[in-house]
Structure 1
Amino acid sequence: MSEAPSQEEAQLASTEKPPLYTKPYTHYVLGILTVVYVFNFIDRQILAILAQSIKVDLGLSDTQIGALSGIAFGIFYAVLGIPIARLADKYSRVNIISICLGIWSLMTALSGLAGNFWQLLAARIGVGIGEAGGSPPSHSLIADYFPVTGRASALGIYALGIPIGILFGNFAGGWIDQYFGWRNAFMLVGIPGIVLAIILKLTIKEPPRGYSEGRVPDTKAIPFKEVVRTMWAFKSFRQIAFGAATQAFVGYGAIAWMPSFLMRAHGMTSGEVGTALGLIIGIAGGIGTLSGGFLADKLGSKNVRWYMWIPACGFLVAVPFSIGVFTIDSLYVILALYTIPALLSNLYTGPTFGMTQSLAP
């Protein structure tokens, strides 16, 4: 006897409609949104590679550096993500992304003018506020440009912005810091994002909501409590939320302090650290991000549980290698070991993003 489809599986079986836009334009949209996500992580990650220079120049403690990379950014990013996502359900997602991109890029550039901890804290809060409006409307746009069967792959490509952004943030930030100082590094990576915001606004079209799944959008404002109650009713959504939050807690914490660890414990320069971590996370992380999305779409077509089994297996296998990174003395062994968790810890992005968008009513 075959097992009755679960509520989640039934949701995934929604009727798909033919594409509304040409394939080249759809790919262009995905490309632009991916570049926006690249800048999201360049501007987010660059503080980590500059932290040691900022600490010395401004006379900051590790606690203050931790506040700049953690609390200042994380609280505003997490808390404002929900109301901005609500705005994206009602108003133009293209406008929201372009405005938020302009805000976080400007605040990144202004970080280079900070003369003390409080000024830099204010700038990083601004970056967190702006970046909170990047992913929710982007995910929603991609869900309307791509059908369910190819959505995890599309979101996996979009998620390449994470390793690519970390690559460029580390590489550019490290060498600019070494030769021109941390202030110029902030300014040089912040200004191009303002130009990109204008390009996005002028060239990306707002698609009908729910089109790729054949749904008629409900224009009524749904109470926030009802949204939470509806999504929380999905057991799989609760598990996805917990798993993704755990990965973010561990992964971003490690990335934030990895450059300082290599500089202090192993005597590397900011340029050397930027090159090493940029290449490791950019290449290995990129392979993991793409593989996770494509594997999930391939295996998930036979059993939807593969969307979660793939990242779960990746996390478990990565643990012993991650421990080795911080307990082994040899620098070359450390960098070699780090490629494995860099790859495996990025398997989750495409599957979790795709499953979440497919579960959302």
Structure 2
Amino acid sequence: MAETTAPPTGSGPEGGVKDWNFSAVYGLGFLTLVSAFNYLDRSLLGLALPSIKSEMHVSDTALGLVSGLAFLLFYSILGVPIAWAADRYNRRNIIAVGFAFWSLMTMVTGWVANIWQLAIARFLMGAGEACGIAPSNSIISDLFRAERRPLAFSIFGTAVSISSILFFPIVGWVGHEHGWRAMFVVAGMPGVFLALLFFLTVKEPERGASEAKRIERAARESFKASMGFLAKQRAYVFLVIGATLMGLNVFAASVWTPTFLTRVHGLTLVEVAATIGPIRGVFGVAGVVLGGLLIDRLSRKASHWRMTLPAITCLLAAPAELIFLLAEDTAVWLAAYAASAFLLLIHQGPVFAAVMSVAKLRMRAVATSILLFSAALIGQALGPLVVGYLNDVLHPTLGDVAVRYSMLVIVVTALLAGVMFLLAGRSLEADAKRALADA
């Protein structure tokens, strides 16, 4: 995967590329589509959990392990070395190969015969998906200047909503009509062909093209040196903690919300897909885009809004999630779910943009992968597992409604994450200047 880059597409105010030219928009759009399949393939198991439990006769704890830990073993372990390679070699090629492989493993999931084979399929899917987010973030940082990155990353963050609006209802209908196995086959098949199209049509941008200081002037840092520098960046440390807490929140909710709606409110699989998919998608994309536009505008006047607004949205998401979990009236919990969907993902774009600003040019993919490693290893692995374990502990006393109280952990994590992002904002500007000066 030798690195060959496309030449800069024009000069911006800082000597970098012009924002929002065709190449940048096409690259951002395709990366967002790739990420949408990334989220679909990893979250599809949550929709299938009730059917899998009925067929394979396993506990909620086992399902929590398979949905979280099995996926994350390779995802977390390989994420950092793949990001290290992405800081040195062709990122487009890494993404294309990973996209094709995880799509194939999604299809294989539809053919497993037992819980162990399911765990292996998730294990290998995680290996492929480790090639996605960190290299994508690094590419986006070279397509857009620092001032425009919060908006660019917010658009990239609409991948979750695109997946929910377009893909979730389709696979939910397939699962209802043809069984849960068919969902995985239908979800994975397009990715194999799109990976080839991505490889053929998306160009690898020049590293540092969006910076006044070109990458040729930036030293190739060792992994140890990268870790040492990032550990001293206070904003980065708080960003990692906050992202980890939100990872626990988002992944616990995505895995167990379908089960919650089935057990507590009596919805069928197709009703769940038709309900949470469009609501999460429409309100999620509205929140991400409007939040990105608002941050883009406010940060021109005061840079602290790049983290203040994401922190506020996390703090507001907590009571919305509390109402969603405890309300009995359908209109109330639907409204609360819509509010939480609007608020929950606003932080992602600004957080990734902030990570790019506090890391040196040759550390960006590694900095992202470390954040993802922490969010995945602790958040995605621990979140579904904790809720599943609490379900089993509380079930003898509370029955099927135990999941309502197990999921209260997401309320606490949203509150704590908001505090972490506020603390990150206090050091962000100074740390960004240090990263640029040392590049």
User: What's the TM-score, normalizing by structure 1?
Assistant: 0.92
Structure 1 residues 331, 269: closer, same or farther in 2, change over 3 A?
same
Inter-partner Cα distance in structure 2 for 1:20 and 1:297: 16
Inter-partner Cα distance in structure 2 for 1:18 and 1:250: 37
User: What's the TM-score, normalizing by structure 2?
Assistant: 0.76
1:81-120 maps to which residues of 2 (within 5 A)?
81-120=79-118
Contact 2:171 2:186 in 1 (8 A): no
Q: For 1:196, which of 173, 191, 194 is the aligned residue? A: 194
Contact 1:50 1:173 in 2 (8 A): no
Return the offset for 1:302.
Answer: 2.1
Structure 1 residues 255, 34: closer, same or farther in 2, change over 3 A?
same
2:94 aligned partner, one-letter code: I
Deviation by residue 1:232-273 (Cα, 9 ceiling, x = unmatched): 222111111111111111121011100011111211111110
Inter-partner Cα distance in structure 2 for 1:295 and 1:227: 32
Inter-partner Cα distance in structure 2 for 1:139 and 1:147: 13
Return the offset for 1:220.
Answer: 5.5
Structure 1 residues 168, 77: closer, same or farther in 2, change over 3 A?
farther
Alignment partner of 1:274 is 2:269: no
The residue number in structure 2 matching 1:350 is 349
Contact 1:292 1:350 in 2 (8 A): no
Q: Compare 225-234 and 251-260 and name the one that shifted more.
A: 225-234
Deviation by residue 1:40-64 (Cα, 9 ceiling, x = unmatched): 0110111111111111122222112
Contact 1:41 1:166 in 2 (8 A): no
1:270 aligned partner, one-letter code: L
Return the offset for 1:216.
Answer: 2.8
Q: For 1:130, which of 128, 131, 142 is the aligned residue? A: 128
1:260 aligned partner, one-letter code: T
Contact 1:45 1:166 in 2 (8 A): no
Inter-partner Cα distance in structure 2 for 1:21 and 1:257: 39
Inter-partner Cα distance in structure 1 for 2:243 and 2:175: 32
The residue number in structure 1 matching 2:392 is none
The residue number in structure 2 matching 1:25 is 23
Return the offset for 1:79.
Answer: 3.0
Report SS of the residue matched to 1:292: helix
Q: Compare 194-203 and 229-238 and name the one that shifted more.
A: 229-238
Q: Percent identity?
A: 37
Deviation by residue 1:263-300 (Cα, 9 ceiling, x = unmatched): 11211111110011011110111111112222222111
Alignment partner of 1:255 is 2:254: yes
Inter-partner Cα distance in structure 2 for 1:204 and 1:30: 10
Inter-partner Cα distance in structure 1 for 2:119 and 2:196: 27
Inter-partner Cα distance in structure 2 for 1:316 and 1:18: 36
Q: What is the aligned-residue RMSD (CA, Å)? A: 1.8
Deviation by residue 1:31-83 (Cα, 9 ceiling, x = unmatched): 11110011001101111111111111222221121112111123432332211
Deviation by residue 1:161-185 (Cα, 9 ceiling, x = unmatched): 0222234453223211111111111
Return the offset for 1:322.
Answer: 0.8
1:153-302 maps to which residues of 2 (within 5 A)?
153-217=151-215, 221-302=220-301
Return the offset for 1:157.
Answer: 0.7
Report SS of the residue matched to 1:147: coil
Return the offset for 1:16.
Answer: 2.4
Return the offset for 1:20.
Answer: 7.0
Inter-partner Cα distance in structure 1 for 2:249 and 2:69: 15
Alignment partner of 1:139 is 2:137: yes
Contact 1:289 1:347 in 2 (8 A): yes
Inter-partner Cα distance in structure 1 for 2:143 and 2:130: 22
The residue number in structure 1 matching 2:34 is 36
Contact 1:293 1:349 in 2 (8 A): no
2:62 aligned partner, one-letter code: Q
Inter-partner Cα distance in structure 2 for 1:332 and 1:320: 16
Structure 1 residues 70, 333: closer, same or farther in 2, change over 3 A?
same
1:61-76 maps to which residues of 2 (within 5 A)?
61-76=59-74
1:324 aligned partner, one-letter code: I
Inter-partner Cα distance in structure 1 for 2:19 and 2:331: 48
2:295 aligned partner, one-letter code: A
Inter-partner Cα distance in structure 2 for 1:243 and 1:338: 22
Contact 1:73 1:128 in 2 (8 A): yes
Structure 1 residues 162, 263: closer, same or farther in 2, change over 3 A?
same
Q: For 2:77, which of 76, 79, 99 is the aligned residue? A: 79
Contact 2:157 2:349 in 1 (8 A): yes
Stretches of structure 2 lacking an aligned partner (at least 5 in a row): 1-11, 361-439
Inter-partner Cα distance in structure 1 for 2:81 and 2:303: 30
Structure 1 residues 198, 327: closer, same or farther in 2, change over 3 A?
same
Return the offset for 1:18.
Answer: 4.3
Inter-partner Cα distance in structure 2 for 1:159 and 1:21: 18
The residue number in structure 2 matching 1:331 is 330
Inter-partner Cα distance in structure 2 for 1:115 and 1:141: 39
Deviation by residue 1:133-158 (Cα, 9 ceiling, x = unmatched): 10111011111111112111111111
Contact 1:292 1:351 in 2 (8 A): no
Inter-partner Cα distance in structure 2 for 1:178 and 1:65: 20
Inter-partner Cα distance in structure 1 for 2:320 and 2:154: 24
1:301 aligned partner, one-letter code: R
Contact 1:285 1:342 in 2 (8 A): yes
Report SS of the residue matched to 1:208: coil
Inter-partner Cα distance in structure 1 for 2:293 and 2:239: 18
Inter-partner Cα distance in structure 1 for 2:136 and 2:309: 24
